[in-house]
A and B are shown apart, each in its own frame.
Chain A
Amino acid sequence: MTGPSPAPQAAVETVGLRKTFGSLVAVDRLDLSIPRGQVFGLLGPNGSGKTTTIRMLCGLMQPTDGTARVVGLDVHTDAELIRTRIGYMSQRYGLYDDLTVGENLRFYATVYGLHGAERTQRLTEHLEELGFTERMGQMAGTLSGGWKQRLALACATAHRPEMLFLDEPTAGVDPAARRTFWQIIYRLAERGTTILVTTHYMDEAERCQRLAFLSRGHLIALGTPTEVTQQFGQANIEDVFIELQRRDEGVRA
């Protein structure tokens, strides 16, 4: 095993994590450790295994091999328990278009086990904080991209999860909305929420405290944005990314 032994309180901890689909190796022997309270970026070209990794950690997919612990619990044996303590937001948002903003939020909050006065209070706070109070009665399907994204985040965090997984949360959202979104992310991190985010936007990658680069299922770089750029001898993360993609395509051709 490479690197220092992980902290006992790590939010995510994988050893030799592997996922294959038939002959395709989507994620290969991934060792990753994310300390609690960190905003951690998972980067890599399309098909590098980012989404598969997140899906294994959230219990959406069974790993083919290796172990993974999320918030201290094993994904093989404690998947249901993990689900109560994490939040997940996918590229597709997972909102019900035919429910209103308030109903979507209430549904997810209740599914996460909130009820009674606690639920009412939490939802009110949440809606205010995210600026949704006036849109309570609006159908989720009629919201713009940025608002949908914010609502999806609200639904994924209504139960105040310890750990939040964001799979390309800002794809197809305008810059202003992206900025607001990141402000919320930082606020969550300040409260101690660990955040694992995948992204294609380099400015977003640079906002992360630590980064992991995946290429064809392999972890090829790990560290702070500065460390990673130095490791590849590039000027910034974007150049690292392009360099990686070039190498990837070189291998394939």
Chain B
Amino acid sequence: MRFTRPAYIHQRAARADEVADSSMVSARVSGRKGKGGGLVIRFESVSKKYPDGTLAVDRLELVAPSGEITVLVGPSGCGKTTSLRMINRMIEPTSGRIWLDDRDTATVPTHELRRGIGYVIQHAGLFPHRTVLDNITTVPELLGRDKKETRRRALELMERVGLPAHFAKRYPAQLSGGQQQRVGVARALAADPPVMLMDEPFSAVDPVVRAQLQNEFLRLQGELGKTIVFVTHDIDEAIKLGDRVAVLQVGGHLAQLAPPAELLSDPSDAFVAGFVGRDRGYRALGFAEAGRLPVRKEHAVRLGGGLGEARDAAEDGWVLVTDAEDRPQGWLRTDRLPEAALPGPVTAQELNLGGTLAPETATLREALDSALSSPSGRGVIVDGAGRLLGTVTASEVLTRIEQQRVADGRPPARDAGLDAETDVGRDDGEGGEVV
């Protein structure tokens, strides 16, 4: 149960300002933010009221710090898209100001303002009559930049967003949704704007492509360091992508602005708590590094090895199978093997691929998931090259979670009394640890 704490929100807002100021200063002084750098976007008591009386955004105070991804998230009608579109004045605020560094956006001619801001929208909105390359060069062309240089840069951008060069001459109708969105991102980046606005750019593609686009987007942002405002209705996407997440409430109120981990561990009120979802405790583990997990040695057998040998190595009826380079391939169930099959080799077809693998640098969530998803109950931990290090059990990961809670000064979450803990605690000293 969470309670509303209005005073707390103010505190947070004040803190958000500090964060923004400090990063702004550091970006200016040290110039450490990529080549594009990034401007600070600041909403100063911005409201939008439509002629029919609907209040879409209500005195929004928000800072999107330089070089960071600020995600606006909230249910339909919370004014997140309106807020975004007010930055490049696709929608004019009714009152208040929006600043890009020390420039009041209202004082800049709209077309000039927009040419300096990358803009990516849900269905990409590519120009159907222009080729991929011509789409990408749109803004540099509007700015009258050198054609040859623009073309060269466009081809380079295509590579960066994962489009092969021979796509340059294609038309949008010849591309899949995910490919179109890549072009959309390249087009927004073509004039190297310091600021990018992204309005649900990945929500119209299927989940697999979406995850892929999200990961590549994060990698790209790591290289470019733009100031990005990103709108989504998907809290998981917000938590995955955002350096900071602004949760908006219907009617255009800012309910909370916080880094994702804080949003999950400490939602400011009942609305935010409800919005971030039921399994937030579990998802918060995704932000906590597991550190040195007690990894136990696992007796694995090689693919192609004898089934009889595999049965002897098995523990609780399951044995892990690796390839010649020690990379886990799957689990083999040995307690149901017919006697007649024992002289035969271990083949890939018989393997259970159910378990996920966790890297040695895993978050607690990855480690726990590895254990929970494994058919044997033993989660597989691998090194950077994908080679087997050992296994952990769910109770061992839980012990680590408890330890971290204690280290953070929070009471351990145990109530049900996990008996296994004491045993695991002993194991902790003896078992081989991942270094």
| Chain B associates with chain A | no
Which A positions have Cβ atoms within 8 angstroms of B?
none
Which B positions have Cβ atoms within 8 angstroms of A?
none
